[in-house]
Amino acid sequence: MSRTVIALVAIVAGTSFVDAAPRGSAVDSHYSYAAGQPVKGRWKSTPVAVVFSEQGGKLDISPRQLKFKQGEVVKFSIRNNTAVKHEFVLGTETENLGHAESMKISSDLEHHEINGRVMKPKTAAVLQWQFLNIGKFQFACLVPGHADKEMRGEVIVE
């Protein structure tokens, strides 16, 4: 099989899955992420709560590891219980490291990303995401220095 044919098969397989959920749609097909895509509307989704907290000056994020099935739609409810701003960004480790480097230069970039949410102190956000590809991904807070301080977790899609 040529590369083109393999790519077409992958596209058709992905499309048929999306059609199975008639009321939902992708947020913006202009963007492409290895981890999948943000989706809007009504989907049969798995609810997952993620909490950013702080104890004795030490930042923490919970849970640390999540496992999903390929094609699964997950509704992340993310709560920031700390006194500082945080981000929740889904991606590969490489994508997130690249984004983190950009953030050190200009934090304006955060507003252009649709694979995550920015949360001011004591606020919450929701992100509905479909995991399209099998693999190992991560969620991380890309506010400079935070991912280094353990503000990240692993996402495994099987």
Does position 151 bind Cu ion by CB under 5 A?
Answer: yes
Residue among 43 and 137 whose Cβ is closer to Cu ion: 137
Residue 150 half-sphere exposure, CB side, CA atoms within 13 Å?
11
Segment lying near Cu ion (by CB under 5 A), choices 28-36, 86-94, 102-110, 131-139:
86-94
Q: Footprint of Cu ion on residues 121-150 (CB under 5 A)?
A: 141, 143, 146
Q: How many residues bind Cu ion (CB under 5 A)?
A: 5
Minimum distance from residue 143 beta carbon to Cu ion (Å): 4
Angle at the Cα of 48 from the Cα atoms of 51 and 108, rounded to 5 degrees:
60
99 forms part of the interface with Cu ion (CB under 5 A) = no
* Residues of this chain, 21-80, that bind Cu ion according to CB under 5 A: none
> 85: closest CA among 65, 111, 63, 47?
111
Question: Would you call the peptide bond into 121 cis, given omega within 30 degrees of 0 as the criterion?
Answer: no
Q: Which of 76, 86, 118, 125 binds Cu ion (CB under 5 A)?
A: 86
Contact 119, 85 (CB under 8 A): yes
- Minimum gap (Å) between residue 141 Cβ and Cu ion: 3
19/108 with CB nearer Cu ion: 108
The CA distance from 45 to 42, in Å, is 8
Residues 6+ apart with CB under 8 A from 129: 35, 36, 37, 38, 39, 73, 74, 76, 90, 115
Residues near Cu ion (CB under 5 A): 86, 141, 143, 146, 151
